Amino acid sequence: MRARMKNSKIGHRIISWFLSADDQLKAKFFRDQLALRSAMPYLVNGSHRNTLVRWLEEIRRQTPCISQLKEEFTNSPQFIILEAYVWAEYNYGDGIVPALQFFLEACRTTTHENANGLPPYMLLIASRLVSWICSDSGAKAKNIPVQLFDDFSQIFEDAGAPSARIRTYFWKALLGLYHPTNPNPDFALKHAESFSRIQPHTKRFSSGLLRLYLDAAQLCIQQEKYTQASRLMLIAKDILPDRRPSNSKDIPSEKGNQDVPPTVNDIHGSLLPT
């Protein structure tokens, strides 16, 4: 399939059309997720990576996207282009390694968007990359160069607004379990300890967190870190829904919840799986 895409020259035709299009057509193309998803596999296999880098850089500098609202930033041209590229590279190109390389190159490009850290739309794409890396029990992670893996993992360190950091740190903790040469449960334990300090009535069930803590506990047992494993399992137990009937007087009022800060299970921006 990849050879047919390359030999079809469709990628070259797309570039030629783009160069002859007016600004209005270009803007419409960049905001058409279906069109870009259809075109991107041909652009990836047609070796047009440098052209896509220029498109992305130009758009990010001209119209920065720093919106915190998912319904807004997922319609931005920079999100659509970047997401379509890493998706096409992963599914139709050379896989997760060049997808990570392209993403990190975009992260390092200095624009108004990332003057104060990565914008939310890039963190959302990063979280999808983590999901791909950790699928199939982390089989893909073993093929990622260690330095590339570490550089990607580092972007989740203190990423986002303070109230969102425990959510973004989830992905660093998950990556730690699948490190190519040194699987590490310590990040998951750090996340679990932060979660355990959240007020009980603000916690909600998350199968994603439960899997993270139990998988980390299993890794601790394999590494003979039994104290850490016990702590992770204790916190994981606290995540499970309470099936006991509760009285209405035990339920915090709506007014009482108005000042509750965002918690680990506030999935605004889809930075944490439910």
Tens digit of each residue's pLDDT (9 = 90 or more) over 26-53: 999 999 999 999 999 999 999 899 999 9
Question: What CA–CA distance (Å, rounded) separates 229 from 9?
Answer: 54
Residue 265 has pLDDT above 50, yes or no: no
104 and 5 fall within a common domain = yes
Q: Cβ–Cβ contacts within 10 Å for residue 269, how many?
A: 21
8 and 102 fall within a common domain = yes
- The fraction of the chain above a pLDDT of 70, given in percent, is 82
Buried b or exposed e, range 111-140, using 16+ CB within 10 angstroms: bebbeeebbbbbbbbbbbbbebbbeeebeb
70 and 195 fall within a common domain = no
97, 130, 163 - which closes a domain: 130
Average pLDDT, integer, range 152-158? 87
Q: Is residue 203 part of a domain?
A: yes
Q: Cβ–Cβ contacts within 10 Å for residue 53, how many?
A: 15
The count of domains in the chain is 2
Which domain does 2 fall in, by range?
Answer: 1-109+119-130
70 and 160 fall within a common domain = no
Q: Is residue 268 part of a domain?
A: no
Over the stretch 61-111, which tens digit does the pLDDT of each residue have?
888 887 888 888 999 999 999 999 999 999 999 999 999 999 999 998 877
Q: At what angle do helices 10-20 and 33-45 cross, to 10 degrees?
A: 120
31 and 124 fall within a common domain = yes
98 and 167 fall within a common domain = no
Q: Is residue 123 part of a domain?
A: yes
Over the stretch 210-233, which tens digit does the pLDDT of each residue have?
999 999 999 999 999 999 999 999
126 and 144 fall within a common domain = no
161 and 189 fall within a common domain = yes
Handedness of CA 243, 188, 143, 79 (dihedral sign): positive
Which residue type does 71 have? E
3 and 126 fall within a common domain = yes
100, 130, 160 - which closes a domain: 130
Q: Is residue 252 part of a domain?
A: no
Q: Which of 114-118, 127-131, 165-169 has the highest mean pLDDT?
A: 127-131
Q: Is residue 199 part of a domain?
A: yes
Q: Cβ–Cβ contacts within 10 Å for residue 21, how many?
A: 13
- pLDDT on residue 261: 29
Q: Is residue 259 part of a domain?
A: no
16 and 46 fall within a common domain = yes
Residues 6+ apart with CB under 8 A from 245: none
Q: Is residue 11 part of a domain?
A: yes
